């Protein structure tokens, strides 16, 4: 994919630069646009793999430790359940 994409991007950049030259504009705009597109596709399209997926329990333990706790998640109060009246 990368070789075909690079060749296509170079061709499109050259054509866009030629159109800008015929329109009396600066062709550097085409080079900058082509460079930005290449950078975005190359580095932002496929981010590096994650090292670990963290669960909610891991997140709660880390938050508790950061706040000076023991690492165990805090006990949450249980709501009072009222009996339904008929």
pLDDT in tens, 18-55: 888 888 888 888 888 888 888 888 787 777 777 777 78
pTM: 0.47
Q: What is the 3-state secondary structure (H, E, C) of the chain?
A: CHHHHHHHHHHHHHHHHHHHHHCCCCCHHHHHHHHHHHHHHHHHCCCCCCCCCCCHHHHHHHHHHHCCCCCCCCCCCCCCCCCCCC
Among 79, 83, 8, CA closest to 41: 8
């Amino acid at each position: 994919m990368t070789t075909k994409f690079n060749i296509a991007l170079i061709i499109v950049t050259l054509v866009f630069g030629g159109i800008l030259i015929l329109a009396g504009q600066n062709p550097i705009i085409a080079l900058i646009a082509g460079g930005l597109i290449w950078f975005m596709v190359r580095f932002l399209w496929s981010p590096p793999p994650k090292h670990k997926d963290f669960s909610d329990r891991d997140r709660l333990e880390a938050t508790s430790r950061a706040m000076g706790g023991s690492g165990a998640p805090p006990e949450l109060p249980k709501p009072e359940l009222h009996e339904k009246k008929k």
